[in-house]
Amino acid sequence: MRLEPVMLSIETGRGAEHDDLVAVLRHQEELGSVRLAEGAGDLVHALGWAGARRAAAARLPWVLTPPRLAEALTTDQARFLQSADAVVVRTSQQRDAAHAVGVPWYRLFVVPVAADASTYSRSGPSARNTERVRVVAESTGAADGIPTLLAALTRWDGAELVVIAEQRAATLRREARRAGLSARFLVVHPRDELERAWWIRSAHAAVAVPSDGVPSRLALDAMACGVPVVATSVDQLEDLVVHGVTGLHVPADDPLSLTRALRSLVSDPFRLEALGMAASDRAVNRYSRERIGRDLLAVYRKVLAAQPDTDDVDDVTEPELVEGGASSTLEAPRTDRASSASHPQDDRLEAPA
């Protein structure tokens, strides 16, 4: 039996932290599963604290996706978390943080960032390689782990580094020169997503080793391109990268461990290929836009089923609750209440003209 589409309104704030969810929901609207309403609908999904304030006043069932929970919450923020009908977070670490401030397990769901499989895939053009092992990373600012990566590569003359960066190019080049890596270091600023994928596909491994903060999307994009990832267990990286399956986990701020991990990956071409295939499979399937959209829809229907005036409650499909901790895409531990074209390039390491 085909269920009626969910009438949904979205309340957003100034930030763009969860814009990917809006894109996923618009895709679901194209599929006919959701109807995005300007005014009142069946329920409200608030993205951020400003959206939560408006959603809480709407007197409708509402779902909250908060910003990253990293600092002490205000009284209002804690109240919003505790009063929402469901709280959708992006990682298992954020789920645990929300539970620590009083959100019951049965109202907590993990819905991660979706992969752009139409742009980032194993097939497609890539930058020409040199004789060295190529490592790709992304600079996002403080605590992004780039200094650790530079220190790691000083111990390995056979590797070169491509850093994707929108800013700080001069600073990064200066840091590479101080580390003695100028001849095998390049900062690139891709003109579009296709060029970004072009660089990522050319790498033997991707590195995402922040010590704190919100990691860049490099790990997910690299996995979708079939490139294994070496990462720290920070935020979404703990869930995304499965140690020994799609890549490797290393401690933060540990250049020696990072060097060893990278060398172990590329020393066995068969293992490198196997990890790349598993990474692509995980990104394209578990993190697909369709899968993330279904997970969101399941949360909405669960919330509506718990409302006393909701019709056809028996016809509502429960969300798929997957056991396995960090590898789960949609999680909510059950309780008694839980029912409710290629660019020309020569052999040098350089950006495309």
Residue bearing tokens 């969810």:
21
Q: What is the pLDDT of residue 307?
A: 87
The predicted-structure confidence for 26-80, as pLDDT tens digits, reads as follows 999 998 999 998 767 889 999 999 999 999 998 899 999 999 888 889 999 999 9
Query: Is residue 305 predicted with pLDDT exceeding 60?
Result: yes
CA distances to 139, 159, 181, 266, 344 from 207, rounded to whole Å, are 11, 13, 17, 13, 26
pLDDT band at 135 (very low <50, low <70, confident <90, very high): very high
In three-state secondary structure terms, 304 is helix
Q: What is the DSSP string of 95-146?
A: HHHHHHTT--GGGEEE--PPP-TTTS-SSS--PPP-SSEEEEEE--STTSSH
pLDDT band at 146 (very low <50, low <70, confident <90, very high): very high
Residue percentage of the chain with pLDDT more than 90: 70
pLDDT band at 344 (very low <50, low <70, confident <90, very high): very low
What are φ and ψ of residue 258, in 5° steps? -65, -45
CATH of segment(s) 6-114+288-327: 3.40.50.2000
Of 169-173, 222-226, 339-343, which range is least confident? 339-343
Angle (CA) 118-120-125 rounded to 5° is: 105
Query: Is residue 326 predicted with pLDDT exceeding 60?
Result: no
Query: Is residue 213 predicted with pLDDT exceeding 90?
Result: no
- Which tops the pLDDT comparison, 335 or 180? 180
Query: Is residue 310 predicted with pLDDT exceeding 50?
Result: no
Task: For residue 65, give the nearest of 46, 44, 85 by alpha carbon.
Answer: 46
Query: Is residue 89 predicted with pLDDT exceeding 90?
Result: yes
As a whole number of angstroms, the distance between CA 117 and CA 172 comes to: 30
Of 61-70, 76-85, 308-317, 344-353, which range is least confident? 344-353
Strand arrangement, sheet containing 86-89: 34-36, 6-12, 43-47, 62-65, 86-89, 108-110
The predicted-structure confidence for 264-280, as pLDDT tens digits, reads as follows 999 999 999 999 999 99
Mean pLDDT confidence for 108-136:
94
As a whole number of angstroms, the distance between CA 121 and CA 277 comes to: 11
The predicted-structure confidence for 214-235, as pLDDT tens digits, reads as follows 777 999 999 999 999 999 998 8
Mean pLDDT rounded to a whole number for the chain? 86
Position 283, amino acid: A
- Which tops the pLDDT comparison, 158 or 309? 158
Q: Are strands 205-208 and 185-188 parallel, antiparallel or unpaired?
A: unpaired
Task: For residue 15, give the nearest of 59, 52, 60 by alpha carbon.
Answer: 52
Pick the CATH number of 133-285 from 3.50.50.60, 3.40.1360.10, 1.20.58.710, 3.40.50.2000: 3.40.50.2000
As a whole number of angstroms, the distance between CA 169 and CA 225 comes to: 25
Structure tokens, 252: 């933060």
Structure tokens, 60: 């409708």
The predicted-structure confidence for 239-257, as pLDDT tens digits, reads as follows 999 999 999 999 999 999 9
Angle (CA) 62-66-69 rounded to 5° is: 145
Q: What is the pLDDT of residue 140?
A: 87
First to last CA, the chain: 55
Comma-separated ranges of CATH 3.40.50.2000 domains in the chain: 6-114+288-327, 133-285
pLDDT band at 309 (very low <50, low <70, confident <90, very high): low
Q: What is the pLDDT of residue 1?
A: 54
Residue percentage of the chain with pLDDT more than 70: 85
As a whole number of angstroms, the distance between CA 230 and CA 252 comes to: 11
Torsion sign (Cα): 69, 72, 77, 82: positive
Q: For the packed helices 146-153 and 255-266, what is the interaxial angle rounded to 10 degrees?
A: 60
What torsion do the CA atoms of 303, 330, 94, 252 make, to the nearest 10 degrees? -170
Of 14-18, 169-173, 234-238, 314-318, which range is least confident? 314-318
The predicted-structure confidence for 255-266, as pLDDT tens digits, reads as follows 999 999 999 999
CA distances to 108, 244, 307, 317, 351 from 335, rounded to whole Å, are 12, 33, 18, 17, 54
Residue bearing tokens 């004789």:
131
pLDDT band at 188 (very low <50, low <70, confident <90, very high): very high
Class of residue 119 by CB neighbours under 10 A (exposed 0-12, middle 13-18, buried 19+): middle
Mean pLDDT confidence for 315-343:
43
- Which tops the pLDDT comparison, 168 or 2? 168
Q: What is the pLDDT of residue 73?
A: 92
Q: Which letter does DSSP use for residue 255 in this model?
A: H
